[in-house]
């Protein structure tokens, strides 16, 4: 099963990805994790990403796609994976679909966690292991970037008919139950 777990910052993607991983026995793959491993293993791509991040720049789409493509070729992902934090742009989504097509493969589900903005802000500001920019102003800035650059990825996948919109409000278990309904059907 190949799944993209998608939604704005604070939607609960990481939490739900962990539950999907445990219940369906498929690995959870986040771009942050891929970056850290590539940098730690000092791969060519890892060195490139480290120099980009050290300079304060964003990692270009093609570099992110290359890292994900390199990672999903590993044996542990042969039966599937949950992508969290990728794709972040339509260009990344198009490149990812091309990679899957070249492998005669396709995405099984694009799960969009729908959460009202007020709830997102509340969740992010109450995180115990928050980021340095987890202020109301910082959160609103991240959400603005999400709506401008990342949200169009959902529209891209809607054209392919693989989007399942899930209510991302309620308890962790309630949300997971809704996701299970999608995955089990």
**Catalytic one among 2, 142, 154, 178?**
142
Q: Is 151 a catalytic residue?
A: no
**Catalytic one among 2, 88, 154, 178?**
88
**Catalytic one among 131, 140, 151, 154?**
131
Tokens 């693989």 belong to which residue? Answer: 162
Q: Is 88 a catalytic residue?
A: yes
Burial classification of residue 20, based on how many CB atoms lie within 10 Å of its CB (0-12 exposed, 13-18 middle, 19 or more buried): buried
Q: Is 127 a catalytic residue?
A: yes
- 73: Cβ contacts below 8 Å, ≥ 6 apart: none
Q: Is 123 a catalytic residue?
A: no
Q: Is 36 a catalytic residue?
A: no
**Catalytic one among 22, 36, 127, 140?**
127
**Catalytic one among 2, 13, 154, 178?**
13
Strand partners, 113: 166
Strand-by-strand arrangement of the 109-114 sheet: 28-30, 81-84, 2-6, 109-114, 163-167
**Got the DSSP string for 12-30?**
-HHHHHHHHHHHHT--EEE
Active site amino acids:
13, 88, 127, 131, 142
């Amino acid at each position: 099963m190949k799944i993209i777990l998608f939604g704005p910052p604070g939607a609960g993607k990481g939490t739900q990805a962990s539950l999907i991983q445990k219940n369906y026995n498929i690995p959870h793959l986040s771009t942050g994790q891929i970056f850290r491993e590539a940098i730690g293993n000092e791969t060519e791509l890892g060195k490139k990403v480290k120099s980009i991040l050290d300079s304060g720049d964003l990692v270009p789409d093609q570099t992110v796609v290359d890292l994900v493509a390199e990672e999903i070729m590993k044996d542990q992902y042969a039966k599937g994976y949950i992508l969290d934090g990728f794709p972040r742009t339509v260009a990344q989504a198009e490149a990812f679909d091309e990679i899957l097509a070249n492998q005669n493969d396709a995405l099984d589900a694009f799960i969009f966690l729908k959460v009202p903005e007020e709830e997102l802000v509340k969740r992010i500001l109450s995180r115990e292991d928050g980021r340095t920019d987890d202020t109301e102003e910082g959160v609103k800035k991240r959400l603005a970037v999400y709506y401008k650059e990342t949200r169009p990825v959902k529209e891209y996948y809607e054209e392919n008919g693989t989007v399942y919109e899930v209510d991302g409000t309620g308890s962790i278990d309630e949300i997971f139950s809704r996701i299970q309904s999608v995955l089990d059907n």
